[in-house]
């Protein structure tokens, strides 16, 4: 049996029945990383010794009769999650030697179940990018075609699943950073509702948009991980104190009578023909299962990217002010005085995209421009949110593409930031509205590249999109197709 | 609108970023293009629209003012580029 190819729920059965040990599974993953990562570069840090020690502890726990859903399961985390005692870089030179002093809550909850941490995954620096090319540790490559990007910013989280280097991973999604790489790498990626999962210990990019979520091999695994990480955290005042439903119980193969909206602004002329074909095929599958489709309108869709790049960069310029070379992180040497030291530190520590976004955000917030840019964007955000509220009056969920095209080539959009920003057009509105969305594998492109289907739900409507996703998955085999490596 | 190089230098100063001449030139062009794009928002009439700062309504979140375990001075200083005793050390602030 190829242990590195299995899902969480399958491995859990094997571990629980003592058919395998966590040590065997963890060793299989570490071997797989050693075999494939020189080509993929999904990992920034591999924590082999710690992983094997955690696996041994998990095996003891299982031997004592305590086998939780995540006990002994080898996971990996985007390098944006703080992990106590382990280097946490956010793919930046600024944090190249930063050792986190505590654990992020999402990871702490998985760890308390006995999950095993294999290491930390590559991403765009400070989660700013859509291709994983903006990393101080080199780009991650797409396991389906190593000339292409895995998407971003959680590119390592998706590539590690496609390359079978980890059983499941966590990423973060500010404008599509879980769903778009999941789409490009043929995995399941879930962005929960804003406030559903604690961001404590997650390095901040744009705080009114950032959310933590799982990247997995199938929908069941996404539900299993969300079950553990969801819920109120006293250390994150934006996490919502609502009860956590039983997500695994919501996985029923039943969409009979479910009303699914197709936003006409997402099915535009010029959509990649392969993406259009994948959507048509998915609609036919769900229709055959009894779902009803209706056209809806989200009239402000076309303004979402502009709105996002003002709000996200403004928040980023404020969040990233903390990297000043005093308390932690890189410090430039040889500067005269405090201010010069800070300016040099930031010049040396940040990459080009991070600098560009700090500049844009600082400009949008600066005196004389605040009303015209930042406040205007916040008002447009209200209009975008209203579009969804209006649509959800007549439908249960929405179905859209995740990205306008399959994975693009490394370097293809690197010279034109605006073109790169536009690749997030179908994912950004969900973050602005604060609602939930899931990306799952649909019919691949004619040349075999994965294409993702997005299901969008109401605020805290994760159960409904999980049920629809699960039902779709039962009729297709796309999630079982593996990248050849 | 277009942004000029002196404006870029002003914003860089506000952002505490030392930019090279190449970066200044590059960002002047790129930010002008991005700003022209985001100005499409002006096509929308937003008079009377309440701005959204936060997508989910949350009230002020209070907790009891009780002492909790914390990471302590040594851990807090562990990643400091320069320290002396229990302090962060920085270059001179006042000439």
Tell me the mean pLDDT in the region A313-336. Answer: 96
Q: How confident is the model at residue A334 (pLDDT cuts 50, 70, 90)?
A: confident
- Residue A37's pLDDT is 98
- Residue A485's pLDDT is 85
Asked if residue A23 is part of any domain, the answer here is yes
Token reading at A192: 């929960």
Q: How confident is the model at residue A208 (pLDDT cuts 50, 70, 90)?
A: very high
Tell me the mean pLDDT in the region A416-423. Answer: 85
Chain A residues in contact with B79 (beta carbon < 8 A): 97-99, 101, 327-329
Q: Give the SS3 label for residue A376.
A: helix
Does A269 score more than 80 pLDDT?
no
Chain A CB within 8 Å of residue B14 CB: yes
Query: At CB < 8 A and 24+ separation, what contacts does A134-138 make?
Result: A134/A91, A134/A351, A134/A352, A134/A353, A134/A354, A135/A44, A135/A91, A136/A89, A136/A91, A136/A92, A136/A93, A136/A96, A136/A351, A137/A41, A137/A44, A137/A89, A137/A91, A138/A41
Asked if residue A308 is part of any domain, the answer here is no
Residue ranges per domain, chain B?
Answer: 5-43
Q: Give the SS3 label for residue B65.
A: coil
Mean pLDDT rounded to a whole number for chain A: 97
The predicted-structure confidence for A114-152, as pLDDT tens digits, reads as follows: 999 999 999 999 999 999 999 999 999 999 999 999 999
Chain B's closest residue to A325, CA to CA, is B81
CATH of domain B5-43: 1.10.20.60
Asked if residue A30 is part of any domain, the answer here is yes
Q: Which CATH number is A218's domain given?
A: 3.90.1300.10
Q: How confident is the model at residue B88 (pLDDT cuts 50, 70, 90)?
A: very high
The predicted-structure confidence for A426-444, as pLDDT tens digits, reads as follows: 999 999 999 999 999 999 9
Does B5 score more than 80 pLDDT?
yes
Chain B residues in contact with A317 (beta carbon < 8 A): 15
Which residue in B23, B35, B81 has the most chain A C-beta atoms within 10 A of its own C-beta, making it the best mutation to test that interface?
B81
Nearest by CB to A309, from B20, B38, B79: name it: B38
- Any bridge partners for residue A197, and if so which? A230
Cβ atoms of A382 and A434 within 8 Å: the answer is no
Write the ipTM: 0.96
Token reading at A449: 């590249």
Asked if residue A164 is part of any domain, the answer here is yes
Tell me the mean pLDDT in the region A323-335. Answer: 95
Does A226 score more than 80 pLDDT?
yes
- Of A252, A246, A208, nearest in space to A227 by CA: A246
- Residue A417's pLDDT is 84
A161's enclosing H/E stretch is: helix A155-162
| A106: containing domain | 3-253
Which residue in B2, B7, B17 has the most chain A C-beta atoms within 10 A of its own C-beta, making it the best mutation to test that interface?
B17
The predicted-structure confidence for A245-266, as pLDDT tens digits, reads as follows: 999 999 999 999 999 999 999 9
> A270 or B29, which is more confident?
B29
Tell me the mean pLDDT in the region A290-304. Answer: 98
Token reading at A73: 């399961």
Chain B residues in contact with A333 (beta carbon < 8 A): none
Chain B residues in contact with A194 (beta carbon < 8 A): 55-56
Asked if residue A436 is part of any domain, the answer here is no
* Angle in degrees, CA A321, A324, A328, rounded to 5: 110
The predicted-structure confidence for A150-205, as pLDDT tens digits, reads as follows: 999 999 999 999 999 999 999 999 999 999 999 999 999 999 999 999 999 999 99
Domain count, chain A: 1
Tell me the mean pLDDT in the region A322-342. Answer: 95
- Contact check, Cβ <8 Å, A303/B40: yes
- Residue A416's pLDDT is 85
Q: What share of chain A in percent tops pLDDT 90?
A: 94
CA distance linking residue A55 with residue A116, whole number of Å: 6
Chain A CB within 8 Å of residue B95 CB: yes
The predicted-structure confidence for A370-398, as pLDDT tens digits, reads as follows: 999 999 999 999 999 999 999 999 999 99
CA distance linking residue A43 with residue A33, whole number of Å: 8
């Amino acid at each position: 049996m190829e242990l590195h190819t299995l899902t969480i729920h399958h491995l859990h059965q094997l571990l629980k029945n003592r058919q395998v040990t966590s040590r065997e599974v963890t060793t299989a993953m570490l071997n797989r990383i050693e075999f494939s990562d020189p080509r993929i570069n999904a990992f920034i840090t591999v924590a082999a010794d710690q992983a094997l020690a955690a696996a041994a502890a998990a095996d003891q726990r299982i031997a004592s009769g305590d086998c939780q859903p995540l006990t002994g399961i080898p996971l990996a985390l985007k390098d944006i999650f703080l992990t106590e005692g382990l280097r946490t870089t956010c793919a930046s030179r600024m944090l190249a030697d930063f050792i986190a002093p505590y654990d992020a809550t999402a990871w702490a909850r998985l760890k308390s179940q006995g999950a095993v941490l294999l290491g930390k995954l590559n991403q765009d620096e400070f989660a700013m990018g859509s291709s994983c090319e903006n990393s101080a540790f080199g780009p991650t490559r797409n396991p389906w075609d190593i000339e292409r990007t895995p998407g971003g910013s959680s590119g390592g989280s998706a590539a590690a699943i496609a390359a079978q280097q980890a059983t499941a991973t966590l990423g973060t999604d500010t404008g599509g950073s879980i769903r778009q790489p999941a789409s490009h790498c043929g995995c399941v990626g879930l962005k929960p509702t804003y406030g559903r999962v604690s961001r404590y210990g997650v390095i901040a990019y744009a705080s009114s948009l950032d959310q933590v979520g799982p990247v997995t091999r199938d929908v069941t695994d996404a539900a299993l991980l969300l079950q553990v990480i969801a819920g109120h955290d006293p250390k994150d005042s934006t996490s919502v104190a609502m009860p956590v439903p039983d997500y695994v119980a919501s996985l029923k193969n039943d969409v009979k009578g479910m009303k699914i909206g197709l936003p006409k602004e997402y099915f535009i002329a010029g959509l990649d023909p392969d993406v259009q074909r994948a959507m048509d095929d998915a609609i036919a599958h769900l229709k055959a299962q009894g779902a009803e489709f209706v056209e809806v309108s989200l009239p402000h869709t076309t303004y979402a990217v502009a709105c996002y790049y003002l709000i996200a960069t403004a928040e980023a310029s404020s969040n990233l002010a903390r990297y000043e070379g005093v308390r932690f992180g890189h410090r430039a040497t040889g500067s005269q005085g405090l201010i010069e030291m800070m300016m040099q530190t930031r010049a040396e520590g940040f990459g080009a995209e991070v600098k560009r976004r700090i500049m844009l955000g600082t400009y949008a917030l600066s005196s004389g421009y605040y009303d015209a840019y930042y406040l205007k964007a916040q008002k447009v955000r209200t209009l975008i949110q209203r579009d969804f509220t209006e649509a959800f009056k007549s439908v249960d969920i929405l179905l859209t593409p995740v990205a306008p095209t399959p994975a693009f080539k490394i370097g293809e959009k690197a010279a034109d930031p605006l073109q790169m920003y536009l690749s997030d057009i179908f994912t950004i509105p969900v973050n602005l509205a604060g609602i939930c969305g899931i990306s799952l594998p649909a019919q691949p492109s004619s040349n075999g590249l994965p294409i993702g289907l997005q299901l969008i739900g109401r605020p805290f409507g994760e159960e409904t999109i999980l049920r629809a996703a699960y039902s779709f998955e039962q009729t297709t085999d796309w999630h079982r197709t593996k990248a050849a490596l | 609108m277009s942004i000029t190089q002196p404006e870029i230098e002003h914003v860089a100063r506000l952002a505490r970023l030392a930019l090279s001449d190449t970066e200044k030139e590059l960002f002047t062009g790129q930010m002008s293009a991005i700003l022209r794009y985001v100005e499409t928002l002006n096509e929308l009439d937003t008079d009377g629209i309440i701005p959204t700062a936060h997508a989910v309504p949350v009230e002020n979140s209070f907790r009891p003012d009780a002492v909790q375990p914390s990471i302590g001075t040594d851990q807090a200083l562990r990643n400091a580029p320069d320290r002396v005793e229990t302090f962060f050390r920085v270059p001179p602030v006042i000439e």
